[in-house]
Structure 1
């Protein structure tokens, strides 16, 4: 028996970090041409998915952090398959904002804790 475990709460979000690494052998013109052909610049991410940040780490990858309504995670995956495959090697990692956690730890350490 298959049970759908996709969260359906419209308020629930997940943060994912994408590592988008160009395929070896593709020059910039190839990359741009393929991204244009897949309508990447207009259709990714899907509407309603927030781009938290998008950085280029030269010589490594583009690092894109998205905040995704949890019930739409599969849709983001499908759009990556449609638009990024063949251009990027895609890695997807769940992530979270560590800044508030760091600040709590810092305050705890200042107060004598660990």
Structure 2
């Protein structure tokens, strides 16, 4: 049995009528500043409060040693400008920022695993 990758892709793409988007943000520490001063500047700029007051939901927020913080936000697509503004006003100067569109692969992974096993079995 041969399974085409285009069929796998079409069958496993989550369909949703939701207009929400997820963005993963790398908040890279400015390494010539101690972490206390980085956090103080972010707090002075009300970064954490701006996120709390926004329509964005924090999906995850981790610290990665040697990198900084990695946070994933989910929010209505119409609020993209507002979320961008949170980082411009609250995080810039404290962190170097990188943004990545994100989606939840966890529900798709079991399907891909089963298809992979089928491919292996039919080799």
> Normalising TM by the smaller chain, what interval?
0.7 to 0.9
Q: Structure 2: how far apart are the matches of 1:96 and 1:49? A: 15
Larger radius of gyration: 2
Q: Unpaired segments of 5 or more residues in structure 2?
A: 1-17
Q: Indicate the residue corresponding to 2:32 in structure 1.
A: 25
CA deviation string 1:58-110 (max 9, x = no partner): 11121101112100011100110000000000000001111122111112233
3-state SS of 1:99 partner: coil
TM-score under structure 1 length normalisation: 0.82
RMSD of aligned alpha carbons = 2.0
Q: What TM-score do you get using the length of structure 2 for normalisation?
A: 0.76
Spell out the pairing of 1:1-114 with structure 2 (5 A cutoff): 11-44=18-51, 46-112=53-119
Deviations 1:33-60 (A, max 9, x none): 2012111221125422111000111111
Structure 1: unaligned runs, 5 residues or longer? 1-10
Q: Which residue of 2 aligns with 1:5?
A: none
Q: Which has the higher helix share?
A: 2
